[in-house]
Amino acid sequence: MANGKRVVILTADAGFGHRSAANAVAAALQETYGDGCEVEIVNPLDDRRVPAWLRRSQADYDRIVREMPNLYRFDYEATGASVPSFVIESALTVMLFEVMRDLVREHRPDAIVTTYPLYQASLQTAYVLSRRHVPTLTVVTDLAAVHRLWFHDVADLCLVPTQQVCDLALEHGLSARKVPITGIPVDPKLAGKYGNRDTRRAELGWRTDLTTVLVVGGTRVSHLDDMLRPLNHSGLPLQLAIVAGKDKATYRRLEGTEWHAVAHLYGMVRNMPAMMHAADCLMCKAGGLIVAEALACGLPLLLIDVLPGQEAGNADYVVQGGAGELAKDPVAALEILYHWLEKDAALLAERVESARKLGRPRAAYEIAAHAWEAAERGPGPVSRRLARVRPKLIELLGRYGLG
């Protein structure tokens, strides 16, 4: 691959969205540019030099937001202020500098894409000390309420999902030319053609004469059984396609349920795009990625779980855009579906149209095009402005025996 370009995508495994976004961009790059583009996905937090508590924060994410939601909300909102964010960025620089420096040296990327916000300060330090800037693109993975750590001037482009996030980026000092609105990158298969919906349902073994609710649970949805119970006994003309993901305990309980509604049960699946294109609506939590996937398919959302912080913004975006509703309890979920289905499903049809208007099914391809352009441009010298801060960064790292 002497004439090829190398793109490194940095991600993390705090939730599914960052990794899934990275996979989507990688797939779009490989599909579009083929052997001319070598793509590597790297999680810097897997490096053993990263402090153990920071590595564990990926696995502990669910526990923190579930067991201490008020603390998480306070931390998320408080650290959005400029002074705490500056302190956090300085700390991240110290903790991640050696990892980022060696990553850039080892992989020698023509461009870097990051789908996680914590890497930018240490990347900038690595560039300044080496006097070599690698074109860097940041891909924001939530739709509305976004932490200011996403917005860092090391990024040549900050690729945002919505106008709301674009406005936040401008408020935090990024120039308009650096903030294209692309959408959240979703699996390129979601942009494909799936033919007649009845045919898709038949291929999945689903009935073609019932309104189909695709239900996506997993370990991040804490009360899926309760939310499904009224639907199971409602008598509405529904069939439920329920994906429990890695939540084996919930899957076993669902297997033991006496189903009065037509129900299809799944654990982990690899054909989510096909299932989404075969369903009439989606019942899920308000994660940025799954919301973006649903909107990309024109699939209305019945949101049944919202974690504090950025997911509240995702839920507001869906509801205010008319593409779905938030159910705070099982009875509310049943009422919403009832209203969607009455009068020949007129309201459901409105929700579908709104979802299509909000959806960005080709976001991964747009981001891939930006990444390819950056890779063709390739690394260059750091700016004079950044070169002037080099002594201060050397002093900061020297205090901790780094550099």
Exposed e or buried b for every residue in 127-163, given b needs 16+ CB within 10 A? bbbeeebbbbbbbbbbbbbbbbbbbbbbbbbbbbbbe
86-90, 153-157, 263-267: the lowest-pLDDT one: 86-90
Give the pLDDT band (50/70/90) at residue 80: very low
Q: Which letter, b or e, does each residue of 78-88 get, where b requires 16 or more Cβ atoms within 10 Å of its Cβ?
A: eebeeeebeeb
Same domain for 164 and 233: no
pLDDT of residue 67: 47
**Which one has a higher pLDDT value, 219 or 172?**
172
CA neighbor of 124 nearest in space, from 97, 146, 147? 97
Same domain flag for 43 and 132: yes
The helix (run of H) or strand (run of E) holding residue 89 is helix 82-107
At 44 the pLDDT is: 93
Query: What's the pLDDT score for residue 249?
Result: 87
Instruction: Report the 10 Å Cβ neighbour count for 94.
Output: 17
pLDDT confidence bin for 385, thresholds 50/70/90:
confident
**345-377, pLDDT tens digit by residue?**
999 999 999 999 999 999 999 999 999 999 999
| pLDDT given at position 311 | 83
pLDDT for 154-164, tens place per residue? 999 999 999 99
Is the pTM above the cut of 0.75?
yes
Separation of alpha carbons 314 and 356, rounded Å: 16
pLDDT(66) > 70: no
User: What's the average model confidence in pLDDT over 95-100?
Assistant: 87
Residue 139 pLDDT > 70, yes or no? Answer: yes
In a domain, 334, yes or no: yes
166 and 299: one domain? no
Q: Is residue 225 part of a domain?
A: yes
Q: What is the pLDDT of residue 49?
A: 86
Share of the chain above pLDDT 90, in %: 61
The pLDDT of 101-115, averaged and rounded, is 95
Contact 359, 297 (CB under 8 A): yes
User: 94-98 contacts: CB < 8 A, separation 24 or more?
Assistant: 94/396, 94/397, 94/400, 94/402, 95/50, 95/51, 95/54, 95/122, 96/44, 96/50, 96/121, 96/122, 97/122, 97/125, 97/126, 97/397, 97/402, 97/403, 98/49, 98/402
Q: Are residues 59 and 30 in the same domain?
A: yes
Strands 37-42 and 262-266: unpaired
CA dist list (Å): 49 to 53, 97, 338, 353, 401: 11, 10, 53, 49, 14
pLDDT tens digits along 317-336: 999 999 999 999 999 999 99
Q: Is residue 180 predicted with pLDDT exceeding 60? A: yes
- Answer yes or no: do 135 and 271 share one domain: no
Is residue 301, in this structure, part of any structural domain at all? yes
Same domain, 273 and 306: yes
**Nearest 5°: phi and psi at 296?**
-65, -25
Helix (H, G, I), strand (E, B) or coil at 120: helix
Identify the domain containing residue 348 by its residue range: 196-358
Percent of the chain at pLDDT > 70 equals: 89
Q: Are residue 295 and residue 346 in the same domain, yes or no?
A: yes
> What confidence category does residue 37 fall into, taking pLDDT thresholds of 50, 70 and 90?
very high
| DSSP letter string, 353-364 | HHHHHH--TTHH
Instruction: Indicate the range of 265-269, 289-293, 396-400 predicted with least confidence.
Output: 396-400
One domain for residues 123 and 169 = yes
The SS3 assignment for 87 reads helix
Q: Amino acid identity, residue 146? A: V
Task: Please indicate, yes or no, if residue 347 is contained in any of the structural domains.
Answer: yes
pLDDT of residue 84 exceeding 50: no
In a domain, 191, yes or no: no
Same domain, 205 and 354: yes
Average pLDDT of the residues in 238-253: 90
- pLDDT grade, residue 144 (50/70/90)? confident
Q: Which two tokens stand for residue 142?
A: 């939530």
Q: Do 369 and 278 share a structural domain?
A: no
Q: What pLDDT, on a 0 to 100 scale, did the predictor assign at position 295?
A: 95
CA distances from 214 to 40, 239, 303 (A): 32, 9, 12
Domain total for the chain?
2
**pLDDT exceeds cutoff 90 at 282:** yes
User: What angle in degrees, to the nearest 10, is found between the helix axes of 224-232 and 330-358?
Assistant: 100
Q: What is the pLDDT of residue 57?
A: 65
- CATH value at residue 259: 3.40.50.2000
- Regarding whether 200 and 311 lie in a shared domain, the answer is yes
The answer as to whether 113 is a domain residue is yes
pLDDT of residue 1 exceeding 60, the answer is no
CA distances from 316 to 50, 145, 146, 311, 320 (A): 35, 9, 13, 9, 6
Residue 51 has pLDDT above 70, yes or no: yes
Domain assignment of residue 248, yes or no: yes
pLDDT of 65 reads 44
Looking at the structure, do residues 22 and 160 belong to the same domain, yes or no? yes
Residue 403 lies in a domain: no
